[in-house]
Structure 1
Amino acid sequence: MSDDGKPWTRRFRQIRVVEMLRATNVTPRMRRVTLGGAEAADLPLGPTLKLLIPPPGLGRLEWPAETRPLVWPDEALRPAVRTYSVRRQDLAAGELEVDFVLHGDGPAATWAATAKPGDVIGISRPSGREIAKAAWICVAGDHTAVPAITAMLETMPRETTGHVFMEVPGPEEEQPVSAPPGVAVTWLHARPDQSRLAAVFKDVPWPDHDDVGIWVGAESDTARSLRAYVRDVRGVDRRRFLVIGYWKRGMSETAYGEALDHDRDADYFAVALEEEAARHGHAHGGHRHHDGKHDHAH
């Protein structure tokens, strides 16, 4: 334990250990898990966080040895690392909510489906880029992006106008949304291999001004198509759009993150560096080194 009584300050990347407090199914395939405990207090606000998920049946988190390079425990003990959207934070109660899409047998979905109150999971400090504040927005995402989109709509200025498209497997996966009155929310129904997001997005009438904010979270091919459209066809400034591949057909999440970094490009990291410098009140020179090992955010 550190001198200030905060055990996470001496852990790998200052990961905090929190507990599952309760869970409920928002839709048949979307499970909301509330996390809390002593180490969830005084967390900063942010759109995404890393989850360190213990292997099934282990019930505790194992840490890497403090060496260079890091030496992780045996693979049977090593936690899975995933990045998820923060659905909601209650700073007063020291709680945060994370929504999980229940699909397949991946470690995050399996943990969310089976965890009981008191089960532990590791979390990083919330961080990440957010949609640019703008008079007009256009947001699109598939099932995995619904938690991020519904969270951003709840905190969006009420005078915002624009369009939001969320594509889910069927009407049973729609959920209540709190959006500004001038933002039209459209639910699309399609299988993941028959997505209509890109086509629908490109049909949206564009405003006659530059005060726009664009956010997309979708399968890799859709993300690449829409990034090119927003940047090259619409000419949107890189500070005003955020397009991320959440997953790639035929690849595991880990493989996608390590091989293609979820299709983040140089513009993404340049803007992230500028935003970080602005938050700290100074500018950075030179180039930011990036290790290419980020998981996507749900």
Structure 2
Amino acid sequence: MAKPFVSEASLAVADAEALVGGLAAYWAGYDVEVETVGSCVTARLGLGSGVLEPDGERLKLRLEAEDLGKLELLRSYATETLCGFLKDEALVIDWRGHMATGATFADFREVRLVSNVPVAPRVRRLTFTGSDVARFGSEADLHVRLYFPPDGLETPEWPRPGPDGRTIWPADDRRPEVRYYTVRRFLPQRDELEIDFVIHADEGPGSAFAARARPGAVCGMAGPLGRGAPAAGWTLLAGDETALPAIARILERMPRDACGAAFIEIDSAVDEMAIDHPSGVALRWLYRRGAPAGATDLLFQAVASAHLPPDADPFVWVACEYSASKAIRKHLRATRGLARDRHLVVGYWQRDMVEAAA
């Protein structure tokens, strides 16, 4: 196993032990795996791990990640989180170890749009190319961060890592919008990536880009990150439109003798799309029939009623609205008794935040 990329820091705080306890409770509330040994806390944060150790009136920090790009993002997250907890926006953390040396993040690439075609009534498939885009075709990680520059900006400007760990952004009128998307397919023979965009009525930055962008348009891409479903004797996949590209990719990459079930919530049959999947995996579409996204219990009921063969070592992968994901995760653990390593349930979006922005 390759050695991890590491950053360490030590900073003076009034009550380091209370701060560590507060951070552990905060992360546990978001289903982060937290391990406490004495006063030392280790948090598995997806991008990597963070170790926090109170030492009198100082807090020792150690971050580890498998590559420099994930370490830079983890360092930015840790810095911003500490600033929030300490209510000190002027806090400067002197990080040591693997540090940024480039003009942008280590995992960032500028990419160009090659084609933009419809594949379903509300889905468009965008194909991108650029330097070293093969890194985004990871088998293990599904997602990338896409950076959409403001309309009319002749020369895009991109974020970069600051010396204190924070992200340095361009001025507001030049700042790109960031959204997460699933890489549907990497085409190594052409150095191209395909990404499916669901076109929403509220037309956020991603939908707006997909609806209007023409070949040659430029955006930024960083990653990859975000786990899929590991090989299992029986697999249950469930999600709404936001998870459709990820579920489609997982299904298409499954062994042809795989067994399981997949539930995908959409508005109506018009939103269905062809997905190549093993014959042993039952694919079922769940229709909201005009109900707002995130307002039904269709996914919860589908997961709750699904039979998980106990002798097949099942794995459950779910991505949907945040409140629904919490209810499904609670059901899988409290009612089904699934261990943490036999399921992955993620909230891709929050309905109340979408409504507040409307």
Is TM (by shorter chain) over 0.5? yes
1:166 corresponds, among 264, 269, 285, to 264
2:173 pairs with 1:81: no
Change (3 A) 1:218 1:64: closer
Contact 2:236 2:316 in 1 (8 A): yes
Specify the code of the residue in structure 2 equivalent to 1:237: A
Q: Name the one with the larger strand percent.
A: 2
Shift of 1:43: 4.4
Task: Identify which range, 127-136 or 114-123, moves more after superposition.
Answer: 127-136
> Greater relative contact order (Cα 8 A, min sep 6): structure 1 or 2?
1
CA contact (8 A) 2:137 2:185 kept: no
Gaps spanning 5+ residues in structure 1: where?
A: 1-7, 256-298
1:135–1:159: 8 Å Cα contact kept in structure 2?
no
Are residue 233 (structure 1) and residue 330 (structure 2) matched? no
Which whole-Å CA distance do the structure 2 matches of 1:216 and 1:66 have between them? 32
- Give the aligned partner of residue 244 of structure 1: 346
Whole-angstrom distance in 1 between the partners of 2:356 and 2:311: 39
Q: How far does residue 220 in structure 1 lie from its aligned partner after superposition?
A: 1.2
Distance 1:47 1:196 in 2: 25
Instruction: For 1:114 and 1:207, locate their aligned partners in 2 and report how far apart those are by CA, in whole Å.
Output: 46
Do 2:259 and 2:280's aligned partners in 1 also have CA atoms closer than 8 Å? yes
Aligned residue type for 1:247 = W
Report % sequence identity: 38
Once residues 253 and 215 of structure 1 are traced to their aligned partners in structure 2, the CA distance between those partners, rounded to angstroms, is 26
How big is the shift at 1:194? Answer: 2.7
Task: Indicate whether 1:38 and 2:140 are aligned.
Answer: no
Report if the CA contact (8 A) 1:29-1:173 is conserved.
yes
CA 1:196–1:44: 2 relative to 1, 3 Å: closer
Q: How does 1:147-186 map to 2 (within 5 A)?
A: 147-186=245-284
**What amino acid is the match of 2:239?**
G
> Is contact 1:131-1:240 (8 Å) kept?
no
Instruction: Using the TM superposition, give the Cα deviation of residue 158 of structure 1 relative to its aligned residue in structure 2, in angstroms.
Output: 1.6
* Change over 3 Å in CA distance of 1:102–1:44 after alignment to 2: closer
TM-score by length of 2: 0.65
Aligned to 1:94: 191
- 1:222 counterpart (324, 329, 353): 324
Counterpart residue number, 2:105: 13
Q: Pairwise mapping of residues 1-298 of structure 1 onto structure 2 (< 5 A)?
A: 10-14=102-106, 15-41=108-134, 43-45=136-138, 46-64=141-159, 67=162, 68=164, 69-103=166-200, 104-190=202-288, 191=291, 192=293, 193-209=295-311, 211-252=313-354
How many angstroms apart in 2 are the aligned matches of 1:224 and 1:62? 37
Moved over 4 A (4+): 41-44, 252-255
Would you say the 8 A contact 1:135–1:211 is kept in 2? yes
Distance in 2 between the 1:18 and 1:208 partners?
45
> 1:60/1:173 Cα in 2 relative to 1: closer, same or farther (>3 Å)?
farther
- How far apart in 1 are the matches of 2:160 and 2:275? 44
Larger Rg: 2
Distance 1:43 1:11, change over 3 A: farther
Output the TM-score relative to the length of structure 1: 0.78
**Structure 2 vs 1, CA of residues 252 and 55 (structure 1 numbering), >3 Å: closer, same or farther?**
farther
Q: Residue 264 of structure 2: SS of its match in structure 1?
A: strand
What's the C-alpha RMSD, in Å, of the aligned pairs? 2.2
- The whole-number CA distance in structure 2 between the counterparts of 1:55 and 1:19 is 15
Correspondence for 2:47: none
Amino acid at match of 1:211: D
Distance 1:72 1:251 in 2: 23
* Stretches of structure 2 lacking an aligned partner (at least 5 in a row): 1-99
